[in-house]
Amino acid sequence: MKQKLLQIEKEFECEISKVSSIEQLEEIRVKYLGRKEGLITIVFKDLAKLGADEKAQSGKLINELKQKITQAFEHKAIQVSGKTSAKAGKAAIDVSLPGIKRELGHAHPLTIVFDEICGLFVEMGFRVVEGPEIETEYYNFEALNIPLEHPSREAFDTFYLENKFLLRSHTSPVQVRFMEESRPPVQIVVPGRVYRPDATDASHSYMFHQIEGLLIDKGITFAHLKGVLTVFAKKLFGEKTKMRFRPHFFPFTEPSAEMDVSCIICSGKGCSVCKQSGWLEILGSGMVHPNVLKAGGINSKVYSGFAFGMGVERIAMLKYGIDDIRLFFENDTRFVRQFS
């Protein structure tokens, strides 16, 4: 076998050295590398007749020869065709052709706003954590002090999967998940996707994004809540922004408040965006309910804390003057490119 291979090699070298056209080269390619009757194919077939040891040895030699021939062939192809491609000039690269233009990506406006908001809280010492979008009833409701029969469950209604799993309707479940596995002080923000069975229109979507915040330590009061959120709002919307806290109800905070900022469009004078009120509601907040601390394994006699949650689309819409929430999810790059 070895002899035979040497002979093929010699013959090949002799023949290839004489080649001067693509046609001749193709003839040689068929003779040696042809899939049906190429010499290399034939010797590979002959292998079957050999004993195991010899088979392994010869197999290796044939492969080496095949590689040599292929390389020599490619080399010759370049010479003959005068171009840079190996495939007999067929797929030659023409360096004078214009290149393929690669589209550059762009951060989605929601990603930009997520990064900006989380960044502001990180500056204040918060850590960014995430939680699952598929939740249990326990974390989405019960652990947040929303019992089965409580009417406020409706406000956080969602899509149910099999086996009592559901798509979380807010990022608040991560509060309890995080408390369970850590000890105070807790200081986190939680960006994420949430779901609600709302009919889609210009201001509603069955899927949207929230950022949750949670801070727990000894001696935390409503004053801390106001302080942190005031710094946040001024940094996001500008130093002149005014804040207003309106009493509200959330089952998982007590007392609870919604925070409004002076309208960033009309600076509080009254316009169509703020419905002539001069104020824009931007988040829900409150002191973490003792039952929620308990669900998280934290002693409410020793620790207290505050939580807040905001809709990211709403803030992005205000910030960029976007008037239809559906634009975020249509994958139209003409829309996405407009933001920086």
Q: Which residues bind ligand PHE (CB under 6 A)?
A: 170, 172, 212, 250, 253, 256, 284-286, 307-309
Please state, in angstroms and as integers, the Cα–Cα distance from residue 323 to each residue in 188, 192, 315, following that order: 31, 22, 12
**Least gap, CB of 253 to ligand PHE (angstroms):** 5
| Residue 145 to residue 254: CA distance in whole angstroms | 11
Least distance CB 163 / ligand PHE (angstroms): 24
Residue 175 CB, nearest approach to ligand PHE (Å)? 7
Query: Toward ligand PHE, which CB reaches closer, 145 or 253?
Result: 253
DSSP SS3 for 180 = helix
Please answer whether residues 62 and 43 qualify as being in contact, where contact means their C-beta atoms are separated by less than 8 angstroms: yes
Q: What is the DSSP letter of 204?
A: B
Instruction: Report the distance separating Cα 87 and Cα 195, nearest Å.
Output: 54
Where do we find the tokens 């905001």?
310
Nearer Cβ to ligand PHE, position 28 or 257? 257
Please report which residue ranges of the chain form alpha helices under DSSP H.
Answer: 2-18, 22-33, 39-46, 52-81, 109-123, 137-140, 173-180, 222-237, 290-295, 312-320, 333-336
* CB nearer ligand PHE, residue 268 or residue 309: 309
DSSP state of 101: P
Q: What angle do CA 304, 152, 228 make, to 5 degrees?
A: 35
- Minimum separation from the CB atom of position 143 to ligand PHE (A): 13
Q: How far apart are CA 297 and CA 319, in angstroms?
A: 38
CB of 239 to ligand PHE, least distance (A): 26
Nearer to ligand PHE, 195 or 308 (CB): 308
Distance CA 187, CA 212 (A): 11
Between 88 and 146, name the residue whose CB sits nearer to ligand PHE. 146
Q: How far is the CB of 266 from ligand PHE (least distance, A)?
A: 26
Residue closer to ligand PHE (CB basis): 81 or 253: 253
Closest-by-Cβ residue to ligand PHE is 309
The distance of closest approach from Cβ of residue 241 to ligand PHE in the complex, given in angstroms and rounded to an integer, is 20
Q: In the complex, what is the shortest distance from the CB of residue 214 to ligand PHE, in angstroms, rounded to a whole number? A: 8
**Residue nearer to ligand PHE on the CB measure, 39 or 257:** 257
Q: Give whichever of 81 and 172 is closer to ligand PHE, judged by the CB atom.
A: 172
DSSP 295: H
Which residues have C-beta within 8 Å of that of residue 223, sequence separation ≥ 6? none
